[in-house]
Amino acid sequence: MNHLVSPSILSADFGSLEKDIKMLNDSVADWIHCDIMDGVFVPNISFGFPVVEFVKKVSAKPLDVHLMTVDPDRYINRWHEAGADMLTVHYEACVHLHRTVTEIQSLGMKAGVALNPHTPVSLLDNILPYVDMILIMTVNPGFGGQLFIVECYNKIAELRKMIDSKGIEVMIQVDGGVDLNNAPELVNAGVNVLVAGHTIFSSAQPAETIRQLKHPF
């Protein structure tokens, strides 16, 4: 399948968020990525239910919600009510990951599992058949605008090999330091979904930058 682009609104202008969402609606972006940070799992606080509910009202694109929180099970149904179409939880935050993934899917959402840069993909072997997407963090989560950790290319390659060897359909998403320079290599490595925030929203022509991420070759 052709790869997808999921712009992260963490880097949007929250003083004119509706304008930015409408720009994304008019662009070739596929999803809208919402980074939820609780100040505990990561050293930053972003936004919560009211913002996601507002984005859902304005957006013409599916909402791709990434929980960087402790105890994500506590609010799975609430994120569904807020409008999440995809809900991604961190491997490192889930004690009973299979149960968590199953609950997400039972509500009609796609289920993703995220890995921090230091977490090996080999730990996903038994959960892969049950998930819709794996998110490889290519920066340490918590802040936008960080540099891509190049060692993560090896993780992406290993994960792609694991998925293909099992003959299953699981998307690989990458978040952190994605830009116009590394997008071609990431797509060639087997990444299905590119998340970009700073690269898009710091651009003088964000819709054009999204187009270039969508068509990097």
Total length of the chain: 217
Catalytic residue numbers, as ranges: 35, 175
For tokens 């936004």, the residue is 47
Please work out, in degrees rounded to the nearest 5, the angle formed at the alpha carbon of residue 175 by the alpha carbons of 69 and 187. 150
Burial of 105 (0-12, 13-18, 19+ CB in 10 A): middle
Residues 6+ apart with CB under 8 A from 12: 20, 21, 197, 201
Q: What strands lie across the sheet with 171-175, from one edge to the other? A: 4-7, 193-196, 171-175, 133-137, 110-115, 86-90, 63-68, 32-37
Q: Are 101 and 119 in contact (CB under 8 A)?
A: no
Q: Are 210 and 22 in contact (CB under 8 A)?
A: no
DSSP structural state of residue 150 = T
Residues 6+ apart with CB under 8 A from 81: none
